[in-house]
Structure 1
Amino acid sequence: MRCVEMKVDEKVAPSEPREALPFLENREKCKNPSEKISKEEDDETACGFWLFKGPFMQRFATEKMYVILYGIAGCVMTMTFAYFNGTITTLEKRYKIPTKISGIISVGNDISTMLTAALLGYYAGNGHRPRWMGIGLLTIVAFCLLTSSLHFIYGAGEDALKLTREYGQVNETLARQERDQKLCQTKAAGCIQEEIGQWVPQVFLFMAQLISGVGQALFYTLGIAYMDDNGTKSKTPAMLSLSTFLRMLGPAIGYSLAALCLRLYIEPSLEPLIGREDPRWMGAWWLGWIVLAAMTLVSAIFLFMFPRELPSSRRRRLQAGQAEGNQEVNLKERSFGDMMQTVRKLTKNKVYVYNTMASIMYFFGYMAYWIFTPKYIETQYRQSAAMATMATGTVALGFSAAGVLISGYVISKYRPSARAMASWNAIVDFVTVAGILCYVAIGCESSDRLNSLTTLSAENSCSASCHCDYVHYAPVCSPENITYISACHAGCSERSKDELGRTIFTGCKCMGSSSLESGTESQFAVDGTCPVDCFNQFLVFLGVMCFLKLVGASSKSTNLLIALRCIPQEDKTFALGLGSMVASLLGFIPSPIFFGWLIDNYCLVWGKTCSNKGNCWLYDTESLRYALNLTAASFIFVGGFLNIAVWHHAKDLKIFDEVEHVEKEVEMDKLDVKSRENK
């Protein structure tokens, strides 16, 4: 007999089958077989590519290094999606996009994920998976560059430029005309012409999202399967928790980056005349995309360097007597018919089906908060876009990361059963429903009253004679603390500056009792919305949200472990891809569109142009709070009962191996080698 030093492409003589050559049977005839295998590493286990390879690189081909780099790459990827969510309200203002359309744009990546996840998981899953993941990250780079290029193509926009000091200096006549249009007009003004190709930015953003979905499918479907296949089952919970923890830092950093960029004006070289709390403020949304593109490119290069199979996994497989030749045969047998047969087999797996459907219901309900939480905070609690983004990203998602770490520690230490994990998933769903019902009660009465009064001011019959149909949203505040959509809607005819530099509108005939002819000169309004203090309610909302993030994140690892263990190893990559496709089709795609439509239904003041109604400036906050939260809670509530069905069918499912004999043999081998060396 000889020591096992075979390569993947080495041919085995018929008289000497691979089953007769396990490493453990030849241990006595090799002084140090583990070292010999490591010296004879072939291209399949070699770390690096092109010029970036060699013995120095090989030391990084370990499970721990992969988990860390995979987690960091996932962190960068989630940063891009969080950054998009954090800047979505600014994009709506800049390109006059209704929330319903922005919801459709945001699901572009889920549409391409749905179309490609299963196929890529089935075919690319048997290729060089780290290289495919690197290619996926390159599509994210393209997504970042395409999105940011909109600013360089269209610029900051006329609406934003009109609110800068430089615009008034360079275009004094146009600036005066713009200011006069805000006042009460004696005759109807013409409609505001749309910017040429206004629909093009929307299509551009959607296509960029489509491209990113391919990278997302490659990264998650192949990355998790590669991690599970190249590690031991006892270490999988810890590896999943660590990589998920690193990935959870991505949204926090992405939202923080968005908050930082939104603090700058959309054209940083110009001086704005309004503050960040003004609803007309537009931040430098495009700046962060350039940073994210560079970070994603570096992550892609590092992932490219990992081998097709980690050396430690190769040694364990050879020691277990697994035949490599069988894998080569399986590669040739891949076909569409075989894939459909695998689909039929998975549909009969009740644990897999119920677990997938429970995840879909949770995602459908909670997707509204992942995408629209900054918008929700802005409208409900009157916080700036930067504050809403910072709270959503830095504070709340920090609790999500803590939840992932705590759950990973508990699972690794106590090794709960599949039923225990499924029951915890159900508990998390019902606790989440209770927390969302608390959102309904956490309203701001001042904000609700302000919006209703603003709507009444818009419907004032007095302002009809001022011809305000096409006046831009430019709120003013009356002494009675009533906000008017513009000075025109308040019936104001004159403008001046006070000693504090504030713009004061006078002669406002449509304010309260001033609609009478007498005394109109004493009626005035101050530029900007009336002050509203909702900060205490915002803090309560933030506290409940952080608790839900902590509890919800604790079920990520348990849900994924059930999904990994309820399917055979040969179907793992495809099953993850198929689950991702179904989740996109039934959850990730329809949810943002549905909730975007729901939010638009409660709009009170639309921006109006010649051909459409543009973006929404003001919402019925009280009705929106009830409708959004109760609808989301209903879907998650159904998901809780589906997790109970998972609990019922998971009684025979094993999450951990009772005895990992291969690892024990390796340890025994190392002890024998050390004892011989000592002798």
Structure 2
Amino acid sequence: SVLKSSGISRTAVIRPGIMTSNGRAKVHDFSQGDEAMKEPVNIQSSASQYGYGSFKPSWLQCANRAPVLLASLCICAICQGSIVNGFISTSISSLEKRFSLSSTQSGIFSAFYDVAVVLVLIPLSHFGNKCHKGRVIATGMVLVGIGSILLILPHFLAGRYSVGEQQQTICGGNLSSDDCSARSTTVNTVWFYVLLASQLLVGIGAAPLFTLGISYMDESVSQNNVALYLGIYMAMSTVGPAIGFIAGGQLLKIWGDIGKSDYRDLNISGASDPRWYGAWWIGFAVAGALSLLSSIPLFGFPKELPEKQRHRRRDVKQTHKDLDKNFGKSLNDYPKIVLSML
């Protein structure tokens, strides 16, 4: 439209869908030059702001950036890796001693995480891509934290640790030895199912981290930086298992029945004794708490970061700029085309 005032013509653009508080269309004046038309003013809507519900203060918007998202995902990956590939591996022998697990049961326990991931991975990748990726990942980390805490509950509920032939079940005088043995087996079976449930929660919770997490980050950065961001993310995911192995090995040197019994009373010489029961549960307690805390920043991210649209426009311009119109017309270009498809 052309606005005339005092003999001066001004060109203005009325953008559809953008209304002022009085219900009229918002008019943008571009009389200052063509540069103003090249890049529209980026005003963050409430849906693209960082925060929790209606709590989205301006000082919190400094976290609404791709580097902060990368840091949050890296912390989640470290927590998940330390639990699954670190503490689980170092605690198998302690779990077998503590809950009288057979080799078959310990194998099922170790593999149950992968079973849970396989069951939910494909449906989650399909339906989760249509949802708020940040909140799905954050909910998954809550499940990882709950699963880790559930894993250590049998340690506190199963009573004191007993060694070898000294392990006894307290029975009444009207119960036979077979009844006592059956009762002990039933209790250990209950703890085994609790351990499986914890692995199920951890597996379901960790599934969106390396599917939706990569997709969420890929959408939030430009094509020039996506390789760097994904490289940092994958590098941090390998740090978690290393931390879990090292910390788990050191924690096993601590007596596991803290506050319940003394290893000297059980005639155990020390950590080198085969009957030693290490404090495997401390690592899961710390990693589980950190997993719950790491979900808090992810809940605050919007479905799309404000810079996503800017990166998308820039990437499209860069693609058209680098496009060679003559590419593919010569036979010499076909080897390059084939290699690009591999």
Deviation at 1:119, TM superposition (A): 1.2
* 1:399-548 superposed matches below 5 A: none
Measure the CA separation in 1 of the matches of 2:216 and 2:118: 21
| Aligned pairs (5 A) from 1:142-181 | 142-159=146-163
Counterpart CA distance in 1 for 2:270 and 2:161 is: 18
Alpha-carbon contact 2:222-2:311 (below 8 Å) kept: no
Distance 2:100 2:228 in 1: 46
- Between the aligned partners of 1:144 and 1:105, the Cα distance in structure 2 is 14
The equivalences for 1:226-375 within 5 A come to 226-269=216-259, 270-272=261-263, 273-318=268-313
How large is the RMSD of aligned CA atoms in angstroms?
3.3
Instruction: Find the partner of 2:339 among 628, 646, 651.
Output: 651
The residue type equivalent to 2:130 in the other structure is N
1:98 maps onto 2:88 in alignment:
no
Per the alignment, in what secondary structure is the counterpart of residue 13 of structure 2? Answer: coil
Taking a change above 3 Å as real, the CA distance of residues 228 and 29 of structure 1, as seen in their structure-2 partners, is same
Instruction: Write the mapping of 1:43-122 to structure 2, written as runs, cut at 5 A.
Output: 43-50=46-53, 52-81=55-84, 82-122=86-126
Q: C-alpha displacement at 1:296, in angstroms?
A: 0.7
Q: Any unmatched runs of 5+ in structure 1?
A: 8-25, 164-173, 175-188, 323-648, 655-679
How far does residue 215 in structure 1 lie from its aligned partner after superposition? 0.9
Shift of 1:108: 1.6
Matched with 1:403 is: none
CA-CA distance at 1:29 after TM superposition:
5.7
- Using structure 2 for the length normalisation, give the TM-score: 0.73
Cα offset, 1:247, TM superposition: 2.0
The residue aligned with 2:36 is 30
Residues 223 and 315 in structure 2, CA contact (< 8 A), matched pair in contact too: no
Sequence identity percentage: 24
Q: CA deviation at 1:300?
A: 0.4
- Scaled by the length of structure 1, the TM-score of the pair is 0.38
Distance 2:293 2:52 in 1: 15
- Asked whether the 8 Å contact 2:221–2:311 carries over to 1, the reply is no
8 A Cα contact 1:87 1:258, kept in partner:
yes
Tell me how far apart the structure 2 counterparts of residues 6 and 223 of structure 1 sit (CA, whole Å). Answer: 32
TM-fit CA distance, 1:51: 6.1
User: Cα distance, 1:288 vs. partner?
Assistant: 2.3
Three-state SS of the structure 1 residue aligned to 2:81 is helix
Report how far residue 220 of structure 1 moved.
Answer: 1.6
SS at 2:224 equivalent: coil
CA contact (8 A) 1:3 1:29 kept: no
- Larger RCO, structures 1/2 (Cα 8 Å, 6+ apart): 2
Distance 2:163 2:293 in 1: 37
How far does residue 52 in structure 1 lie from its aligned partner after superposition? 4.9
Match of 2:145 among 127, 141, 146: 141
Question: Is the 8 Å Cα contact of residues 70 and 229 (structure 2) preserved in structure 1?
Answer: yes
Q: How big is the shift at 1:242?
A: 0.9
CA distance in structure 2 between the aligned counterparts of 1:234 and 1:318, rounded to whole angstroms: 13
Shift of 1:43: 3.2
> Are the structure 2 counterparts of residues 286 and 317 from structure 1 closer, same or farther at C-alpha, using a change threshold of 3 Å?
same
State the alpha-carbon separation in 2 of the partners of residues 5 and 69 from structure 1.
Answer: 37
Contact 1:160 / 1:282 at 8 angstroms: preserved in 2?
no
Residues in 2 aligned to 1:282 and 1:27: alpha-carbon distance in whole angstroms: 76
- Residue ranges of structure 2 left out of the alignment (5+ in a row): 1-11, 19-31, 171-176, 318-336
Instruction: For residue 318 of structure 1, report the CA deviation from its aligned partner.
Output: 5.0
Q: Distance in 1 between matches of 2:62 and 2:33?
A: 25
Contact 1:257 / 1:288 at 8 angstroms: preserved in 2?
yes
1:2-50 per-residue CA deviation (whole Å, 9 max, x = no partner) reads 387978xxxxxxxxxxxxxxxxxx992628946x21xx21233211213
Tell me which amino acid in the other structure corresponds to 1:128. Answer: H
SS at match of 2:339: coil
In structure 2, C-alpha distance between the alignment counterparts of 1:27 and 1:303, rounded to whole Å: 41
Shift of residue 302, structure 1, vs aligned partner: 1.0
Alpha-carbon distance, 1:243 to partner: 1.2
Residues matched between the structures, number: 284
Answer whether contact 1:136 1:215 (CA < 8 A) is retained.
yes
* Equivalent pair of 1:27/1:33 in contact (CA under 8 Å): no
Structure 1 residue 95: deviation in Å?
1.5
